[in-house]
C-alpha cells in the first residue's frame, strides 16, 4: 500500500481537497454567510488514577455509561439538538492511555441542558453521586462552550469527516417527499470559505492572497 502496488484502504474515506463544516437549513441549503448558526461544544471526559488502570474498581461502569450516553444522544438527536460526537484517548500525559475525552456538538445550550436532565444522563449522574466517595481514583470533568454565530470556523485538508465535520443534519427532500440526513461538509477552496476570517463572515475571504499557501 505504501508504494501504491495495492489499494490503500486507509485513504478510502479521505476527502482530497479543502473543506469546511457548515449548517444546512431544513431544505438542505447552505447560507451564503458562513458560521450563520450558534453552536455548543461540549467536552466530557474521565480518567482513572489507580495502579490497576482500566481494570480499577468502577472504571468499567463509567466507561459503559459514557458509551451508552453517546448512543442515547445519537438515538435522540432531534430531541436534544445533538449534532455529533467524537471520542479521543489522551496519550500525552501518561503511557497508560487511561483518559478518555468525548467532544460533542449541540445546536443550543438549552438542548444540552435538556439532555443533562433527561433519564439518559441522570442514571449516570445518580451512579456517580452514590459511588464517587468510594471511587476517589476516578476523575470526571466537562467543559461547555456556547459559541455565537460568526464566532467559529472549521477547516479540513485531505481529511476524513471528523469533529464537526462528522455531524449530520436532518433535512427534508421535497422531491422524494421524505426526511433525510446530510453532511455539513462543503468545498472550502473558493469564496468566503477560503480563509479563517472569511469562514467567520468577517472578511471577503481574500486576505491571504499574498501568501503562497492560502490555507
Phi, psi (degrees; rounded to nearest 5) at 11? -100, 5
pLDDT, residue 177, reads 85
Q: Are 127 and 141 in contact (CB under 8 A)?
A: no
Burial 7-30 (b: 16+ CB within 10 A, else e): eeeeeeeebeebbbbbbbeeeeee
Going from N- to C-terminal start, the domains of the chain cover: 1-36+152-208, 39-147
Say yes or no to pLDDT of 3 above 60: yes
Please say whether the dihedral angle defined by the alpha carbons of residues 192, 28, 24 and 69, taken in this order, is positive or negative.
Answer: negative
Q: What is the pLDDT of residues 27-59, one digit of tens each?
A: 899 999 999 999 999 999 999 999 888 899 999
Which residues on adjacent β-strands are paired with residue 142? 44
Domain 39-147: which CATH number of 3.90.420.10, 3.40.720.10, 3.30.70.100, 3.40.50.300? 3.30.70.100
**Per-chain mean pLDDT for the chain:** 91
pTM: 0.89
pLDDT band at 213 (very low <50, low <70, confident <90, very high): low
pLDDT tens digits along 127-147: 999 999 999 999 999 999 999
Amino acid at each position: 500500500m505504501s508504494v501504491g502496488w495495492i489499494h490503500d484502504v486507509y485513504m478510502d474515506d479521505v476527502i482530497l481537497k479543502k473543506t469546511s463544516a457548515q449548517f444546512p437549513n431544513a431544505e438542505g441549503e447552505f447560507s451564503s454567510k458562513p458560521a450563520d448558526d450558534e453552536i455548543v461544544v461540549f467536552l466530557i471526559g474521565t480518567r482513572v488514577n489507580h495502579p490497576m488502570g482500566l481494570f480499577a474498581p468502577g472504571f468499567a461502569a463509567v466507561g459503559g455509561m459514557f458509551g451508552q450516553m453517546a448512543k442515547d444522544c445519537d438515538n435522540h438527536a432531534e430531541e436534544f439538538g445533538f449534532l455529533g460526537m467524537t471520542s479521543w484517548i489522551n496519550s500525552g500525559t501518561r503511557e497508560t492511555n487511561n483518559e478518555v475525552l468525548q467532544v460533542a456538538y449541540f445546536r443550543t445550550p438549552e438542548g444540552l441542558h435538556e439532555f443533562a436532565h433527561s433519564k439518559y444522563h441522570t442514571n449516570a449522574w445518580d451512579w456517580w453521586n452514590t459511588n464517587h466517595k468510594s471511587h476517589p481514583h476516578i476523575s470526571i470533568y466537562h467543559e461547555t462552550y456556547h459559541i455565537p454565530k460568526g464566532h467559529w470556523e472549521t477547516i479540513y485538508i485531505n481529511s476524513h469527516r471528523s469533529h464537526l465535520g462528522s455531524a449530520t443534519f436532518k433535512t427534508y427532500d421535497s422531491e422524494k417527499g421524505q426526511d433525510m440526513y446530510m453532511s455539513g461538509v462543503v468545498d472550502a477552496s473558493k469564496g468566503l470559505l477560503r480563509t479563517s476570517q472569511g469562514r467567520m463572515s468577517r472578511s471577503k475571504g481574500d486576505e491571504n492572497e499574498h501568501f503562497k499557501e492560502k490555507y
